[in-house]
Amino acid sequence: MTTVDDIRERLTEIRPPGFPRDIIGLGMVQSIDSHDGAVTIHLNPPAMPPSSLNATIADIRRAVGALDGVKEVTVRVQQAGAAPGATGAAAFNELGPLPGVRDIIAVASAKGGVGKSTVATNLALAMRQRGLRVGLLDCDVYGPSLPIMLGLTGRPRSAGNQRIYPLEKYGLRVMSIGFFLDDDSPVIWRGPLVMGLVRQFLKDVEWGELDLLLIDLPPGTGDAQLTLVQQVPLAGGVVVTTPQEVATLDVQRGIAMFQQVNTPVLGVVENMSYYECPKCGKREDLFGSGGGERIAAHYAVPLLGQIPLVPEVRSAGDAGKPIVIDRPDHPVSQLFVEIAGKVLDAVEAERAGTAAPTIIG
Amino acid sequence: MPFSPTTIKRLGKEGLEITWSDGHHGIYPNRYLRDNCPCASCREGKPRRLLPIVGNPGEIYPLQIGVVGRYAISIQWSDRHDTGLYSYDTLRQLCPCELCQPSGAKDTAQ
């Protein structure tokens, strides 16, 4: 039976007309899927005349089709440069699954200030501690906070081929718009710029091999979020909220957005859930209680956990050493680890349903 | 989870054959899909399309089909119109088979 490696091997024999290297060497082949003899090959070709591209595709079909046990060959092309004459082809620049990245999870909230980045960062670190290769993408263009939370400074390296390399901290691969901004300049951007940035972050960042990519979405349900859900098939979304009613109203919108685009909501994390008096240990529900539970029940999504408001979470974040790293034994760190486990289980459970349709012909 | 297509097969100039996750399948004539393009400019123009079809109207077919996130496909038609995102829900509702559209409502289906 032919394996993906066999297919890849065979593809190294194919060279597009006029190019010095084979299609594997050119990095044209984004992914190869083989399932019961049905092979799907995703191409991301460099600019070339349509006739060359068609010839290459024909070569691929012939070569792979001749392999033992291959019944059907589908070649899908993602066009990097829009075809000449095509107008408004934005919808065809879909990125598809990111190469090398197994699952993508979005951390969202419809309202700002609920601690979304804190949750995203600590969850990413907790997943990292389980031995997964984790990337964290800060798409919060208006108020990027990952650089501070992770104590990361410096600009990401970029190579001549427009690839940007993420920074690394605590074993996480991290990319944030914050790396490219001066400290005191506010980000005042119009929608198209935001979408362009998100697209570039998805397309041009060299993540390498990742088990999981967590995306810290900007608050709200606007351009950036839509771009994201339209461009990459998310394994699911995690919605962060606080207990009070007003915040939860907004979160409903966040959940509705995911549901509208068929992306499963893996669960709700209630942050700043309560305050435990350090002196007497009495639990105080500062923002009221039960918001997360109500949301979870109403939309039939799990409540993944309730994280109390404790000074250590904030100070650890401000110091660039999130609590999961700073105080791994702290009860809140344990909570993050527990929530991370639930998220991973939910992703596993959803994986069955994430297959994109096969387009034949 | 609502239904989602498992395979979308191009039948050349005829149309698309879509097989669904529940095993249902339907054949969508190109013309019918193009007429039901869900994009804003087409819908606003109903019942007449705002964007005229260029060339021989009988000869409409998809140039390119793309998958959008995990909820829709996009089709670039031979008249270069490409702004419609056909969500899986919409596609399923549009299914022109006898079971889904018993009254033969092909030409007027929502």
**Residues of chain A numbered 130-149 and touching chain B (CB < 8 Å):** none
pLDDT band (50, 70, 90) for residue B110: very low
A200 and A339 together in one domain: yes
CB atoms within 10 A of CB A356: 20
Distance of alpha carbon A166 from alpha carbon A182, whole angstroms: 18
| Cβ <8 Å between B8 and A355 | no
A345 and A239 together in one domain: yes
The per-residue pLDDT for range A160-188, each reduced to its tens digit, is 667 888 999 999 999 988 887 766 666 66
Q: Where are the beta strands (DSSP E) in B1-110?
A: 5-11, 15-20, 25-29, 62-68, 72-77, 85-87
Q: Which of A262, A265, A266, A354 to mutate to test the interface with B (most CBs of B within 10 A)?
A: A262
The per-residue pLDDT for range A16-60, each reduced to its tens digit, is 877 777 888 888 888 888 888 888 888 887 777 777 788 888 888
- Final residue belonging to a domain, choices A81, A111, A136: A81
| Cβ <8 Å between A233 and B70 | yes
B104 versus A87: the higher-pLDDT residue is B104
CB atoms within 10 A of CB A343: 26
A63 and A193 together in one domain: no
Give the total number of structural domains in chain A. 2
The per-residue pLDDT for range A107-131, each reduced to its tens digit, is 988 777 888 899 999 999 999 999 9
Asked, for residue A91, whether it belongs to a domain, the answer is: no
Distance of alpha carbon A29 from alpha carbon A27, whole angstroms: 6
Q: Using an 8 Å CB-CB cutoff, list chain B residues near A85.
A: 80
A117 and A56 together in one domain: no
The per-residue pLDDT for range A252-266, each reduced to its tens digit, is 788 888 887 778 889
Distance of alpha carbon A13 from alpha carbon A212, whole angstroms: 32
Domain ranges, residue A44 = 4-81
Q: What is the CATH number of the domain that holds A41?
A: 3.30.300.130
Distance of alpha carbon A78 from alpha carbon A283, whole angstroms: 54
A122 and A204 together in one domain: yes
A139 and A213 together in one domain: yes
With a cut of 60, say whether residue A93 has pLDDT above it. no
Picking from B98, B94, B102, B110, the residue whose alpha carbon sits closest to that of residue B29 is B94
Q: What is the mean pLDDT of chain B?
A: 80
Asked, for residue A92, whether it belongs to a domain, the answer is: no
- Average pLDDT in the A81-110 region? 59
Asked, for residue A94, whether it belongs to a domain, the answer is: no
A60 and A173 together in one domain: no
- Final residue belonging to a domain, choices A81, A111, A139: A81
Asked, for residue A130, whether it belongs to a domain, the answer is: yes
Q: What is the mean pLDDT of chain A?
A: 81
Q: Tell me, what's the ipTM?
A: 0.71
| Cβ <8 Å between A353 and B4 | yes
Asked, for residue A361, whether it belongs to a domain, the answer is: no
Asked, for residue A87, whether it belongs to a domain, the answer is: no
Asked, for residue A36, whether it belongs to a domain, the answer is: yes
- pLDDT, position A94: 47
What contacts A182, CB < 8 A, 6 or more positions away? none
Q: Where are the beta strands (DSSP E) in B36-110?
A: 62-68, 72-77, 85-87
With a cut of 60, say whether residue B63 has pLDDT above it. yes
- Which of helix, strand or coil describes residue A139? coil
Q: Where are the beta strands (DSSP E) in A85-244?
A: 101-108, 134-138, 167-169, 172-176, 210-216, 236-241
Q: What is the CATH number of the domain that holds A162?
A: 3.40.50.300
A105 and A166 together in one domain: yes
* Largest CA-CA distance found in chain B, in angstroms, rounded: 40
Asked, for residue A154, whether it belongs to a domain, the answer is: yes
| CA distances to A52, A55, A115 from A79, in Å | 14, 16, 38
Q: Are strands A210-216 and A283-284 parallel, antiparallel or unpaired?
A: unpaired
A147 and A9 together in one domain: no
Q: Using an 8 Å CB-CB cutoff, list chain B residues near A357.
A: 4-8, 18, 67, 73
Distance of alpha carbon B84 from alpha carbon B68, whole angstroms: 11
A12 and A145 together in one domain: no
| Cβ <8 Å between A357 and B10 | no
A107 and A252 together in one domain: yes
The continuous run of DSSP H or E covering A269 comes out as: strand A265-270
A303 and A238 together in one domain: yes
| Cβ <8 Å between B64 and A353 | no
Domains in chain B, please, with CATH?
A: 5-94 (3.30.2020.30)
Distance of alpha carbon A83 from alpha carbon A180, whole angstroms: 31
Burial B5-33 (b: 16+ CB within 10 A, else e): bbebbbeeeebbbbbbeeeeebebbbbbb
